[in-house]
Structure 1
Amino acid sequence: MTIEEQLLASVRDRRGVDAADRLCEACVAVLDIDAAAISLVFDGANIGTLGASAEDARMYDEEQFVYGEGPCLDAVAQQAPVRVVDLADTSETRWPVYGPAMLAHRIRGIYAMPVVVAGQFVGALDVFMAQPQRLPPDQLAGMAVAAELAQIPLLDLLDEDMQAAASDPDSDAWAELTALTRSEVSQATGMVMAQLNIEPPAALARLRAHAYATGRRATEVARDIIDRRLRLERH
């Protein structure tokens, strides 16, 4: 089978998050990469990981949320693919925090392809490589196909709101995707708001700052807050 046929087979008869995970796994198998994830982006922030090839890929994606920078955010903001052949290249400075974090995870090459649904740039397919690598044309074409196929699980999640999403770019259908993503972070943010008597943006910033300072995932910090193993203090 061709690359396109193998990617299509990975999502056939699958739905939602399961289809997203299987698509990412297929990307690793057929595109000669080390990890893949599908990011969701809303209002300029990485709000969730729709699918991932494995837990390491999910972590690479979530760190874009923690640091507020990375390939998925650039791909959506620029409405174009993003390519970094080698993060270790001294001239590569676009992600001053996320870049070194990926190098610490021994990831040097990153590509991101925007995911578009109903004319809206809603996320990106991110692929990660341990070695510097320029993907040849057939693999880039495969990435483009995978990014198109990523619409399938997103359409499943939008479901009845799809007509509204297609007809109105400002539809609440897009905002409702946030309910499917990083629910622990949302709950923990509410607890920090109540504990410290601060506004939502400040509470979220405090949670993300703690994750960054301690080198942990935001969802891990959120679970500790929810389970009352951690209480963030005023500075």
Structure 2
Amino acid sequence: MANNDAVTTADQYQDLLLNTPEFSQFLLGLATISASQLGGDGTPVACTVTVERDGALSTFAYSSEEGRRLDETQYAFGIGPCLAALREQRSVLIDDLQLDQRWAPYTYAVAKLGVRSVLAVPIRTEPLSQAALNCYAHAVHAFAAETVKLVEDQAASMSRILRLALRLHAPEVFSEDLRAALKSRAVVDAAIALVMLQARGGRDGALDLLQAAAASGNRRIQEIAREIVARGSLNADPGGGKR
């Protein structure tokens, strides 16, 4: 599925950084370039760049909102191919999420959302930070050997400019309240994905189930979501009774 165009070079990424007025726009460019090069045969691919710095995970760049949500769902579970690629500094390929058992229940949840293939490749950065280029597709076996090589070359080209960008731009400072809100949203999204998988329904129906469980137990929906993600199942009463 890789485009026949040459891999974007480090010099071209440097030009992108110099010619982009805002850091957020530069990061968007990183992900969008990768997605466009991988979607050359008409198969849509979502690309993201995950960075872990000072123990905090964030999706620095994403070519689509779907890609960002898929990354954040993985952060909520705390496991998955992108985190493995980033922390173990190795490429990770999943040809069919519905058959892969390595990171259940995360892989089950995102497969239910329509994603079937994932490729995650580490990007070499500074000693105190780690990064990965993540690619998601809705088709099985979406990343052939030549595509994996292209993504690895793309990640190598990104390395120098991303290291420079991380030095020039301090990590975004969030208040503790905002950090907690972002984490809660990711956990709720992960729980919704699991409920969709197990109840065989849509997103709205899954959210209705969580809200009903919260109301019946007089608890916050975030509490219910955390329990479902930790359990990997909504089997047992999600309301858990009053506390």
TM range (shorter): 0.5 to 0.7
The answer to whether the aligner puts 1:58 opposite 2:68 as a matched pair is: yes
Cα 1:120–1:111 shift into 2, 3 Å: farther
Give the distance between the partners of 1:55 and 1:110, measured in 2 at CA: 16
Deviation at 1:231, TM superposition (A): 9.1
Q: 2:177 aligns with which of 175, 184, 187?
A: 187
| Aligned residue number for residue 93 of structure 1 | 101
SS of the equivalent of 2:123 reads strand
SS of the equivalent of 1:117 reads coil
Is the Cα contact below 8 Å between 1:25 and 1:36 reproduced in 2? yes
Count matched residues: 187
SS of the equivalent of 2:164 reads helix
| Aligned residue number for residue 76 of structure 1 | 86
Is the Cα contact below 8 Å between 1:20 and 1:150 reproduced in 2? no
**Residue type of the alignment partner of 2:136:** F
TM-superposition CA deviations, 1:56-103 (whole Å, max 9, x none): 1111111111111112211123221011010112xx111112112211
Give the distance between the partners of 2:188 and 2:221, measured in 1 at CA: 11
**Residue type of the alignment partner of 2:47:** A
Give the distance between the partners of 1:67 and 1:210, measured in 2 at CA: 11
Deviation at 1:36, TM superposition (A): 0.6
Cα 1:42–1:64 shift into 2, 3 Å: farther
Is the Cα contact below 8 Å between 1:72 and 1:123 reproduced in 2? no
Give the distance between the partners of 1:28 and 1:7, measured in 2 at CA: 17
Give ranges in structure 1 of 5+ residues lacking alignment.
Answer: 161-175, 192-203, 217-229
TM-superposition CA deviations, 1:108-156 (whole Å, max 9, x none): 1001001111356602100011111153343222211221243324422
The answer to whether the aligner puts 1:126 opposite 2:137 as a matched pair is: no
The answer to whether the aligner puts 1:49 opposite 2:52 as a matched pair is: no
Give the distance between the partners of 1:208 and 1:73, measured in 2 at CA: 15
Is the Cα contact below 8 Å between 1:76 and 1:121 reproduced in 2? no
Mapping of residues 22-33 of structure 1, within 5 Å: 22-32=29-39, 33=44
Sequence identity percentage: 21
SS of the equivalent of 1:122 reads strand
Cα 1:190–1:37 shift into 2, 3 Å: closer
| Aligned residue number for residue 108 of structure 1 | 116
Greater C-alpha Rg: 2
| Aligned residue number for residue 149 of structure 2 | 141
Is the Cα contact below 8 Å between 2:87 and 2:130 reproduced in 1? no
SS of the equivalent of 2:60 reads strand
Deviation at 1:13, TM superposition (A): 2.8
TM-superposition CA deviations, 1:184-228 (whole Å, max 9, x none): 7x424569xxxxxxxxxxxx6x77655544559xxxxxxxxxxxx
Normalised TM-score (structure 2): 0.63
Is the Cα contact below 8 Å between 1:6 and 1:26 reproduced in 2? no
User: Which deviates the most, 122-131 or 142-151?
Assistant: 142-151
| Aligned residue number for residue 229 of structure 2 | none
Give ranges in structure 2 of 5+ residues lacking alignment.
Answer: 194-202, 204-219, 224-241
CA RMSD of aligned residues (A): 3.4
